[in-house]
Structure 1
Amino acid sequence: MEKWLKTIALALFGLALTVTLPACGRSSSSKSSSAGSQLDLQKSGTLRIGLEGNVQPYSYRKDGKLTGFEVDLGKAIAKKLGLKAKFVPTKFDSLIAGLDVDKYDVVINDIAETAQRKQKYPFSTPYIYSKSQLAVKKNSSINKITDIKGKKVAQTTTSNNATDAKRLASRT
């Protein structure tokens, strides 16, 4: 991993751990304390990390092996905690739900923070700022975001892109 990327990753994971690890994997109705969660991690010796595993450069397979920025970040976090990273590739639409059923301890997958998600899950400081783009057929009549008003658009089920697109399309 490039030196600047390591520096950024290491700077961010400390805060990410402080905010994210104690509560991730526990539903809001859970009686577990953050100390109990930390003990569970120490006892297992493993940090289970949910991610998609199919989007470059975040996490993807190269020669059959999981690699990418989020994989490197997850390994660095686990190492700093004295744990072994165990990656659990999961479809994007099920990533957040996997926390509720204790499928993994954290999600590292360019997840957008929304008001609804923030009510239930603690978020770290963002480690990346990403943006979405609109893809249309060549020679389409859609040339700008406001042209999609009244049109059908597709997105993944749990993405916040539709909300953003509706907000932007309603601009006049």
Structure 2
Amino acid sequence: MKLSDLSGRPLTYAEVGATAGSPPPGYRFLRRTSVIGRGRARFEQAAADGMRFGMLRGAGVRVEATTTSAEVGTDVLGHLGPVPAPCRVVYVVDEPDRRGFAYGTLPGHAVRGEELFLVRYEPATGDVVAEVAAFSQPATWWSRLGAPVTGVLQRLIADRYLRAL
């Protein structure tokens, strides 16, 4: 699979944008957060890195993307070992104290669903918080068969994403 193959492919789920609110029924849901520093300068640096797919790259995912920074419509082809993970950025958060993006799965991904990568600044405490949220369900026979293991792996990689920034 090549990055250029993703153009025009439809998303594999209907609940686009649901990581911004309540998780949709019928999916496994994950939300992880971690304080990664303090202060506005730390927030700005982590947010900039995050928008350049820093959580993914820092966790060991090889990332190819159609843009340098996440934008709505950016196609992303992640590789964690031999398994391709084709996705498309479905929304971007660009607020004074919150920055990040969510991407949704495309055909060829082992699961269907959405994942949010967010950095936020808590003005009251000065904390900088990294957050990952995802909902997913198996999309292939082998991911259905390995669903218990897939859930554990998803939690492990989410923790790696948080440590990456």
Q: Normalised by the size of structure 2, how large is the TM-score? A: 0.27
Q: Which is richer in strand?
A: 2
Q: Normalised by the size of structure 1, how large is the TM-score? A: 0.26
Higher relative contact order (CA 8 A, sep 6+): 2
